[in-house]
Amino acid sequence: MRPAPDLLARRLLFFTGKGGVGKSTVAAATALLAAERGQRVLVVEADDKGNLPRHFEAAPVGFQPREVYPGVHVMAMRTEDSLKEYLRLNLRVPVLSRLGPLARALEFVATAAPGVKEILTVGKVCWEVRESIEGRADWDLVVVDAAATGHIIGQLDAPRGIKELVSVGMVRQQTDWMVELLSDPAITALNVVATPEEMPVQETIELVERAKAELAVPLGLVLVNRVLPELFTRPDEETFEALREPEATKILDEQAGPGATSVLEAARLAVSLRRTRVAYLSELREAVELPLVYLPYLFVRDQGVRVTKMVAEELGQELGL
């Protein structure tokens, strides 16, 4: 299946994945790609670590979005701030000082009651998207560096969960439009980032199955990150194996110096690393009926905006942009 070329035509992109697979990098790269194509992008860092701006060589951000790259704004989700904003917008509670203890009490309920924290995250995200659609905010695209595979279902299902728990009240009324927005395939897509390794592939397969069964949110792409290059064609690999015969190695040592053995050893490592990972890739391809996008392993010395740009470029090519 070919990748959905309309990824950037949607309004709201969630990125999830097992910890350590480069979820934030891919989210940042998607934002950068969209921005370079003239879109105004808001990136929401759902876990409040404030580290996402690193991908743009910028200082950490708070709840207020800040432009970290031309066309890319980043905000860190703080549920307490999200709650305050919600109260301010919906109840018009006039005095901010009175809001403090009230918000703290509600924050406490939020910590205790299931789904409340999640709804404050997803609610804020949906709100930004709706404001943009209705012309009151000017994001063309909202990219969410969302919860990891273990928690994403709870996060995205929060509006529905709250609806079940809360039978009356303002919150309930407001979950309806959120559910609608989150389940519209023209607007929203949930994308999964993986690496070609055992656990990330396994978690991706399980998540896609669960998301199909339990979520109304449409699935987008599976992005496979850090794919190692194929070094040799089959005939070339035979030649490589022959080079490791003692007779040949002796000549290489004479001609290229004593490091030649290590260089051959390194190539063998690269070949077998690639081979193990290819097996996981096939497993993923077979189990998941979603468009797969491959992003190469980058042999670079740093992890900043240069990497974000490189990943964005690869992503653009894969998406046919």
Partner 1 sequence: MSPRRRPATVTGNSLEPLLATKEIVIFCGSGGVGKTSTAAAAGVAAATRLGGKVLVLTIDPARRLASALGLEGFGNLEKRVPDEALRAAGLEPRGELWAAMLDTKRSWDDLVLRHAPNEETAYRILENRLYTNITGRFVQSHDYIAMERLYDVHTTGKYDLIIIDTPPTRSAIDFLEAPKRMAEFFGGRLLRWLTLPYRVGGRRGARVLTAASRPFYQLADRILGSQFLQDIAEFFLNFQSMYDGFVERAQAVERLLHDRRTAFTVVTTLEGAPLREAQFFCEELVARKFNLGALVLNKTLPGYFLEPEGDEAAETLCSDADGIADAVAATGIAELGDGARNARVLRTVGDSFKNFAVVARREAELKAVLSDAPEAVVTIPNFEVDIHDVSGLARIGDYLFAA
Residues 221-280 binding partner 1 (CB under 8 A) are: 231-232, 235-236, 238-243, 245, 247-248, 251-252, 255-260, 262-267, 269-270, 272-273, 276
* Structure tokens belonging to residue 276: 């193990």
Buried b (16+ CB within 10 A) or exposed e, 155-164: bbbbbbbbbe
The contact mask relative to partner 1 for 2-41 (x = CB under 8 A, - = no) is ----------------xxxx--x-----------------
Q: Which residues pair with 170 in a beta bridge?
A: none
Which one among 67, 184, 197, 313 touches partner 1, defined by CB under 8 A? 197
Which residue, 137 or 267, is less far from partner 1 as judged by CB? 267
Give the Cα separation of 118 and 97 in Å (integer).
Answer: 25
Which residue, 49 or 210, is less far from partner 1 as judged by CB? 49
Q: Please identify, among the stretches 127-135, 138-146, 192-200, 215-223, the one whose residues bind partner 1 according to the rule CB under 8 A.
A: 192-200
CB of 39 to partner 1, least distance (A): 26
CB of 139 to partner 1, least distance (A): 25
Residue 190 phi, psi dihedral angles, 5° rounding: -100, 120
292-321 positions binding partner 1, by CB under 8 A:
299-303
CB of 53 to partner 1, least distance (A): 13
Give the Cα separation of 208 and 155 in Å (integer).
Answer: 15
Per rule CB under 8 A, count of chain residues that contact partner 1:
82
Torsion of CA 55, 61, 66, 67, to 10 degrees: -10
Which residue, 9 or 91, is less far from partner 1 as judged by CB? 91
From the number of C-beta atoms within 10 Å of its C-beta (0-12, 13-18, 19+), residue 167 rates as exposed
Which one among 37, 40, 85, 154 touches partner 1, defined by CB under 8 A? 154
Q: Tell me the residue length of the chain.
A: 321
CB of 185 to partner 1, least distance (A): 26
Cβ atoms of residues 215 and 180 within 8 Å? no
From the number of C-beta atoms within 10 Å of its C-beta (0-12, 13-18, 19+), residue 179 rates as middle
Asked if 47 interacts with partner 1 (CB under 8 A), we say yes
Q: Please identify, among the stretches 42-50, 59-67, 127-135, 211-219, the one whose residues bind partner 1 according to the rule CB under 8 A.
A: 42-50
* Structure tokens belonging to residue 48: 């409040």
84-143 positions binding partner 1, by CB under 8 A:
87, 90-91, 93, 98, 102, 104-106, 108-109, 111-115
Which of 163, 134, 118, 137 is closest to 14 using CA atoms?
A: 118
CB of 156 to partner 1, least distance (A): 12
Which residue, 21 or 189, is less far from partner 1 as judged by CB? 21
Which one among 13, 76, 148, 192 touches partner 1, defined by CB under 8 A? 148
CB of 166 to partner 1, least distance (A): 5
Angle at 274 between CA 269 and CA 278, to 5 degrees: 150
CB of 74 to partner 1, least distance (A): 16
DSSP string, 240-295: HHHHTSHHHHHHHHHHH-TTHHHHHHHHHHHHHHHHHHHHHHHHHHHH--S-EEEE
Which residue, 36 or 107, is less far from partner 1 as judged by CB? 107
